Structure 1
Amino acid sequence: MKRTIVLLILVFVLSGAAIYQNNDKMGEALAASSEMNPKPGFTAPTLELPDLDDKPLAIGGKKDKLLLLNFWASWCGPCELEAPDLLELSKKYGDKLELYGVNATTYDKERQAREFVEEFELSFPILMDRDGKATELYKVTTFPTSFIIDSNGIVRERVPGVISLNEWEDLIEKWIDIDERNKEQSTEQGKSEE
């Protein structure tokens, strides 16, 4: 009888230990997958996409300017509302901000996307996500979704949906200022190390 009780206790302890170890591994896997999200404070995924002339442009990584990356589709009503504001932002901040529109071509028709660009006279680069890789890497599930990425390739803002022109200007000016201060500090550090 004592032997049976000891065996039951041993089985119970070993089962508990196995469950405990698997829960830790599951928690680590969930933490790792959530860290892969392109969210503020994390490195933006890097890839190349073709523009409307099929010239490849790089997304992510270090750049000279702040980057506003806007995912959109031609059938998206909010994207239509946002298009004039994005055009204005690209003209106003063009010397300090790169703006790329990424058409979610796997969810859209390329002909309609091109018509959208012509209709709204979008003059900033439009990239075609024909295989859906960018949309997947940036975990975009609603349109429009935009990202502000600093010159070091770090996502600073994720903006789902449409915001006003004033809100865009506030966000862009905030991150341009921060980005420029960071560059100045890096330059000063480089000089002091020489």
Structure 2
Amino acid sequence: MNRNRWILVGVIVCLAVVLYENSGQSILSRFSDKTKNSSPSEQTLSNLIAENTPKPGTPSPAFSLTGLDGHNYEVGGKRDKPLLLNFWASWCDPCKEEAPDLVNLYKKYGDKMDFYGVNVTAYDKLENAKKFVEEYHYTFPILLDEKEEVYRMFNGIAFPTNALIDKNGVIQEVIIGILPPEELEAKVKKLLEDS
């Protein structure tokens, strides 16, 4: 019952993101907009989100998760390669839309950078996640965030969320929602150039 409630919350959050994107206003600008008309509670929410969200230029939260392949994957601190960290759920339509773009990016840049897909299994079912991976031909590591702990570390508010992390373990960007494929690729190229 409690899990279903969280799934419903996730669906509502995804719907809210879509509505904000379609209105021409990003969710981040909505939270960071501190106009004179903002109520104290809105400003408190905005400050809380701003304080807890990993920001570009700050170290990535450190974590360790097990992948579908049974291997343990760690993030935090220096790395051999930059990393694209993708948080998703199998029922998320924007995640389905983004999946082919991630596959193409991995084929193109997988030798120069790491790609980790993080299924937030606390909002999903393992069986559905495995079907998603098979359907969209994911060949990069898929990590299982069964308790939502890592998603919370990144203050996840919507699926998909992508974090671009450089070789020093420093977050370069957090992207909430999907981008056109060419924009996401441009960000990946910049990460590679700067690393």
Instruction: Quote the residue 2:7 is aligned against.
Output: none
Q: Deviations over 1:35-84 (max 9, x none)?
A: 54212111110110000022210022211111000000000000000000
**Selected match of 2:123 from 100, 107, 111:** 107
Q: Give % identity.
A: 45
2:152 and 2:78 map into 1 onto residues whose CA distance is 21
Q: Deviations over 1:138-183 (max 9, x none)?
A: 111100000000001111011110111111111111111111xxxx
Structure 1 stretches of 4+ with a deviation exceeding 4 A read: 30-36
Provide TM-score, normalisation by structure 2. Answer: 0.73
CA RMSD between the two structures: 1.7
Q: Deviations over 1:115-154 (max 9, x none)?
A: 0000111000000001111011111110000000000111
SS of 1:115's equivalent in the other structure is helix
Name the amino acid aligned to 2:164: I
Structure 1 position 70 matched with structure 2 position 86? yes
Structure 1 position 167 matched with structure 2 position 195? no
SS of 1:83's equivalent in the other structure is helix
SS of 1:82's equivalent in the other structure is helix
2:121 and 2:134 map into 1 onto residues whose CA distance is 16
1:41 and 1:138 map into 2 onto residues whose CA distance is 14
Cα distance change of structure 1 residues 116 and 170 upon mapping to structure 2, 3 Å threshold: same
Q: Which has the higher Rg, Structure 1 or Structure 2?
A: 1
**Selected match of 1:45 from 57, 61, 78:** 61
Instruction: Quote the residue 1:79 is aligned against.
Output: 95
SS of 2:185's equivalent in the other structure is helix
Q: Given that residues 71 and 145 in structure 1 are in contact (C-alpha distance below 8 angstroms), is that contact kept between their aligned partners in structure 2?
A: yes
2:186 and 2:176 map into 1 onto residues whose CA distance is 16
Gaps of 5+ in 1: 1-29, 180-194
**Selected match of 1:96 from 105, 112, 117:** 112
Q: Given that residues 49 and 155 in structure 2 are in contact (C-alpha distance below 8 angstroms), is that contact kept between their aligned partners in structure 1?
A: no
SS of 1:139's equivalent in the other structure is coil
1:159 and 1:31 map into 2 onto residues whose CA distance is 19
Provide TM-score, normalisation by structure 1. Answer: 0.73
SS of 1:143's equivalent in the other structure is coil
1:105 and 1:63 map into 2 onto residues whose CA distance is 25
How big is the shift at 1:33? Answer: 8.4
Q: Given that residues 35 and 42 in structure 1 are in contact (C-alpha distance below 8 angstroms), is that contact kept between their aligned partners in structure 2?
A: no
**Selected match of 1:136 from 146, 152, 156:** 152
1:31 and 1:151 map into 2 onto residues whose CA distance is 29
Name the amino acid aligned to 2:123: Y
